[in-house]
Structure 1
Amino acid sequence: MFFKKTLSTNKQEKEKSKDADNIIPTNRERMSLEFRRRLQNSADIVETEVPGTGITLFYFHTLIDMNLLHKDIIEQIKNQSFHSIENIMGQLSVGIMDKTNQMDKVIQSAIGGHVIIHLEGADKVIYARIASNTGRALSNAINESQVIGPQIAFNESLSTNLSLIRKYIADPNLSIEDIRVGKRTTTAVSLIHIHGIANQQMVDILRDRIKKINMDGLIDSSVLVQLIEDNSLSIFPQMVLTERPDRICSWLLMGKLVVMVDGSPQAIACPQSFLEYFQSMEDKNVNWQVATFLRLLRIFALFLSVYFTAIYVASLTFHYEVIPQTLLIPLSESRARVPFPPIMEALIMEFFIELLREAAARLPTKVGQSMGIVGGIVIGTAAVDAGFTSNILIIIVALGALASFTTPNYSMGNIVRVLRFPIIVLAGFWGFYGIMFGFCFILIHLLRQSSLGTPFLTPFYPPRLADWKNSIIRLPLTFTAKRPNQTRPEDVDKYNPSVAKEKE
């Protein structure tokens, strides 16, 4: 008992000592020493004394707007005498400011772009936000372009991105929760949902996943999505990254959850299904017949991109009987000079196509476009003339590469590119049996995946007939009056179709 009391007493004394060290110094010189010590005496720390006031300003000149500093703070308080912190706050016209007596809060505020206002003898300080607005202006979407509909995209400023969402959804139930992630970066992460529509259990699960992240720093939302998705070992993403505010707002109205990271131009949306990666925001802006055709075209392009080259390899290696007789002669003439077996020929050409695509993506825009077109033509023609490959395989590989570009989502498009290679290898060793084995393996893997606890292949597994109206096909908007069951929304109805008919 004696030792327990002694240990408890020592612990309490340490906590008291720690709390005492965290109190703001009332003396200016001690405040300056403590402020610089905690910030490693960084070169961009500025300490400015306002003449005749007893007020000292501490800030990072690399983080604040100097014009606002002089106009909203220094000009407002110079040549005046103040007796308390409250008097100073009443004199300033800064929008965001507060007071504290904790040194930890002062340090975090200074790093966040605040000016620290210290009054000699006062036991508290003011921190006022006048951060500089650095970053690019709003522009068109780069990776998710569309012809019909809004063209604006997110940028790297979290406050700007949130204002875009507020502009679209002027609903008091729109909830934005601020979470800090990263021990060293303390990056601002916003969890967004519409209260009364989004499922509260999903909100709690996603919030817990974000808060449990323990890492030094978070720079981009693409890193965060790998840490909070259901199965980070799967090649398929279970949460969507998008740069379009109109798409995010549409998903919020469906009951989905959105996560945004300060410094990242892409937002995370969940839960998602596999088919939603092949749906474009433009599908809602065109007639339902056109939208259905485009979705069916993308699904066909998915199978074409993954399996077309593999079917060519399997047919030439094991299954000549499936090739039409009229095609056998030109096919054999085309392969007469090729020294490689079909599997090696296909893998080499697929590798060349991916090499050209990656090189074109990494080069400057104008050079990359020219290099991709000219390089593809020159290499393809030279490879056929040299007997390195057949001209039929050139057509097949080109069609497969073209089909992969129809996927509206960049992440899923990359996965389609990767899946071609193991399917070609299976086709080269076991023919159509290998292709079917690969197809079944991918299907079983997709059946086992989930997005925030919801099945990844919804609405087909488990079958939800009500959600088929907006899956591979897209029926008229009058048939989709209810929100999808995938998000388990608290408010199921988007609108009442009977009332709409009465008004009509």
Structure 2
Amino acid sequence: MRRRHGSKNKKDSIFPITIDELEKTLSSKFENNPDLKFSKYDQQGQKIAVFFIDYQVSSDKLQQALLVPLLGMKKEWTNDSILNEIPINSGTKISSFEDILKKLVIGEVFIYAEGEEEAISYLLLHKESRSLEKAETESLVLGPKISFTESLATNLNIVRWRIKSTDLVLEEFKIGKTMPHDIRLVYMKSIANEEDVNTVRQRLQELDVDEIEDSVVLKQYLEDSQTNLFPQFDHTELPDRFTYAVKKGKIGILVENSPSGFIAPATLYSFLETTEDLYMRWQAGTFLRILRFIAVIFSILVTPMYIAAATYQYTIIPTQILLTIGQSRAAVPFPPIIEALILEFLLELLREAGARLPTKVGQTMGIVGGIVVGTAAVEAGITSNILIIVVAMSALSSFTIPSYLFGTTIRLIRFPMMILAGFLGFLGIIFGICWLIIHLLRLTSLGRPYLVPLYPLKLHDFNKVFFRTPFNYTYNRAQSYRPKDLIRFSKKDATKKRDIDE
């Protein structure tokens, strides 16, 4: 006999009730919704009802696993006999009418035998999900190409497949009062910092919202500061990046119906690294990582520096270049700040239009639009050739950032820096940089400093952030995240030569 754990909550029970009265009650609650299927069956004068929401339930499971054994029963229809005869292990007794309504809309099938004080529910959910596909927003040249899907079961399967260890923990949470969503807290029990795990767990338990639309929305609820411009958790749609972070001692979170997950805690440098750095030789990985750091600084400062130099500090520009800039701007009626803001605004319009249009049309729009708008703007005297080159270099630099959310933040920062440069010159740029540094020094992720290992200084972690070293020398995990186990493998065994002597 299979044991079932029934619901003891009878605070709003309507049972026992006749089958006809139950049908009327359900129809009034669903306002005569045609998707509510209510079937009645009669056996030797005894009545039973099977009701569910159509399209939410797997028709094959309903027919073969539930209706065939139910209607073929020789015993009297009672809750205990039904639970014993139907070969499904998820049967649960429920008396609360509110619980029945909540479970109906998530794909559960209910059986009610007239005269019983409880109904029986079975989860026979039919869920549409797309197959595994290539990642769209995070492209890689080397490494796995698959991305997460909207199916939580599929995502958990991918994570389990990539981390074959009994040490992997997948804690379950339900968030949302009106429309609850399944949440999974993913971490390595022997590596992840217990304080960080407890912090995330507490924030999830204390979260009181109606619904969670996506993991990106949940991430904003859980961050240390919701008003901050910088993302405080790393967001990804790549399973290999997700599991790589979990194996380092970080905490991952997956959300039902979301094709991505997020990782905590994060630092400023987390958004500039990618698993592709690991798949290359360490020299190439180091070069690309340093290139991204330079690109971020370049993207923020190159256009403001042009505005400041062309408006106030033009004496620092070499004479030949100054003559070229003067000739290029001779027909432009606007000061450099207005000229730059117009061009940056046009670039953002082209970027947004390219992102919203279909893929092939968007690519054509970005290339043709950039050429046409840029050429027309120069010929019309709205902007200069030099500024187009400067803005294009700034835009290209921002495209090197692996994280789309962090790249958007960098684009937004550029505008106030341009305004400060237009009004105060290089003094305004220095003021903006100082404000930015102070802001980042105060920022935290799960209470951890956002600029670690640069602040507070942890020299041992530099080879895991700013550059790469050969794998033989990465025998320790990053101290910045305070993992339980710092040692990845034995340094002595890793550097030991294993060549066969001839």
The equivalent of 2:34 in structure 1 is 43
Which shows bigger deviation, 345-354 or 189-198? 189-198
* Amino acid in structure 2 at the alignment position of 1:133: K
The equivalent of 1:251 in structure 2 is 245
CA contact (8 A) 1:51 1:78 kept: no
Map of 1:402-441 to 2, 5 A cutoff?
402-441=396-435
CA distance in 2, matches of 1:54, 1:81: 14
2:439 to 436, 440, 445: 445
CA contact (8 A) 2:311 2:336 kept: yes
The equivalent of 1:5 in structure 2 is none
1:25 to 8, 13, 16: 16
2:312 is the counterpart of 1:321? no
Which shows bigger deviation, 146-155 or 96-105? 96-105
CA distance in 1, matches of 2:244, 2:295: 26
Give the gaps of 5 or more residues in structure 2: 1-8
Map of 1:289-300 to 2, 5 A cutoff?
289-300=283-294
Relative to structure 1, the CA distance from residue 35 to residue 199 in structure 2 (aligned partners, 3 Å threshold; closer, same or farther) is: farther
Which shows bigger deviation, 218-227 or 206-215? 206-215
The equivalent of 1:7 in structure 2 is none
2:91 is the counterpart of 1:100? no
2:192 is the counterpart of 1:198? yes
CA contact (8 A) 1:47 1:58 kept: yes
After TM superposition, give the deviation of residue 27 of structure 1 in Å: 4.2
CA distance in 2, matches of 1:127, 1:495: 50
The equivalent of 1:12 in structure 2 is none
2:303 is the counterpart of 1:309? yes
CA contact (8 A) 2:148 2:155 kept: yes
CA distance in 2, matches of 1:259, 1:88: 38
The equivalent of 1:172 in structure 2 is 166
2:358 to 347, 355, 364: 364
Q: Secondary structure at the match of 1:21?
A: coil
1:257-299: CA deviation from partner (whole Å, max 9, x where unpaired): 1111111111111000101100111111111110110011111
CA contact (8 A) 1:193 1:258 kept: yes
TM-score by length of 1: 0.92
CA contact (8 A) 1:25 1:31 kept: no
CA distance in 2, matches of 1:111, 1:482: 49
CA distance in 1, matches of 2:393, 2:248: 36
CA distance in 2, matches of 1:303, 1:500: 37
After TM superposition, give the deviation of residue 484 of structure 1 in Å: 1.5
After TM superposition, give the deviation of residue 497 of structure 1 in Å: 2.7
Which shows bigger deviation, 77-86 or 481-490? 77-86
CA contact (8 A) 1:315 1:323 kept: yes
Relative to structure 1, the CA distance from residue 185 to residue 426 in structure 2 (aligned partners, 3 Å threshold; closer, same or farther) is: same
The equivalent of 2:131 in structure 1 is 137
CA contact (8 A) 1:469 1:479 kept: no
CA distance in 1, matches of 2:31, 2:478: 53
CA contact (8 A) 2:472 2:494 kept: no
2:63 is the counterpart of 1:76? no
1:334-380: CA deviation from partner (whole Å, max 9, x where unpaired): 11111111111111111111111111111121211111111110111
CA contact (8 A) 1:113 1:130 kept: yes
CA contact (8 A) 1:165 1:245 kept: yes
Instruction: Kindly indicate which of the two structures has a greater share of residues assigned to helix.
Output: 1
CA contact (8 A) 1:156 1:265 kept: yes
After TM superposition, give the deviation of residue 126 of structure 1 in Å: 2.4
CA contact (8 A) 2:10 2:95 kept: no
CA contact (8 A) 2:251 2:265 kept: yes
The equivalent of 2:474 in structure 1 is 480
1:123-174: CA deviation from partner (whole Å, max 9, x where unpaired): 3332211111213222111001101111110111111111111111122222
TM-score by length of 2: 0.92
CA distance in 2, matches of 1:125, 1:186: 22
1:233-278: CA deviation from partner (whole Å, max 9, x where unpaired): 1100100111011111111111111111111111111000101100
1:157 to 145, 151, 171: 151
1:175-200: CA deviation from partner (whole Å, max 9, x where unpaired): 22222222211122222222122122
2:339 is the counterpart of 1:345? yes
CA distance in 2, matches of 1:27, 1:200: 53
The equivalent of 1:396 in structure 2 is 390
After TM superposition, give the deviation of residue 22 of structure 1 in Å: 2.7
CA distance in 2, matches of 1:421, 1:171: 47
Which 4+ stretches in 1 moved above 6 angstroms? none
2:108 is the counterpart of 1:120? no
2:281 to 283, 287, 300: 287
CA distance in 2, matches of 1:162, 1:369: 34
2:487 to 485, 490, 493: 493
Q: Secondary structure at the match of 2:143?
A: coil
Which shows bigger deviation, 85-94 or 310-319? 85-94
CA distance in 1, matches of 2:188, 2:98: 33
2:77 is the counterpart of 1:87? no
Which shows bigger deviation, 172-181 or 375-384? 172-181
CA distance in 2, matches of 1:238, 1:356: 28
1:409-465: CA deviation from partner (whole Å, max 9, x where unpaired): 000110111111111111111111111111111111000000001000011000011
Relative to structure 1, the CA distance from residue 283 to residue 96 in structure 2 (aligned partners, 3 Å threshold; closer, same or farther) is: farther
CA distance in 1, matches of 2:301, 2:98: 58
* Amino acid in structure 1 at the alignment position of 2:327: E
Which shows bigger deviation, 370-379 or 185-194? 185-194
The RMSD of aligned alpha carbons is 1.9
CA distance in 2, matches of 1:407, 1:116: 51
Q: Secondary structure at the match of 2:425?
A: helix
CA distance in 1, matches of 2:38, 2:417: 64
After TM superposition, give the deviation of residue 41 of structure 1 in Å: 4.9
CA distance in 2, matches of 1:216, 1:33: 28
* Amino acid in structure 1 at the alignment position of 2:38: E
2:368 is the counterpart of 1:374? yes
Give the gaps of 5 or more residues in structure 1: 1-17
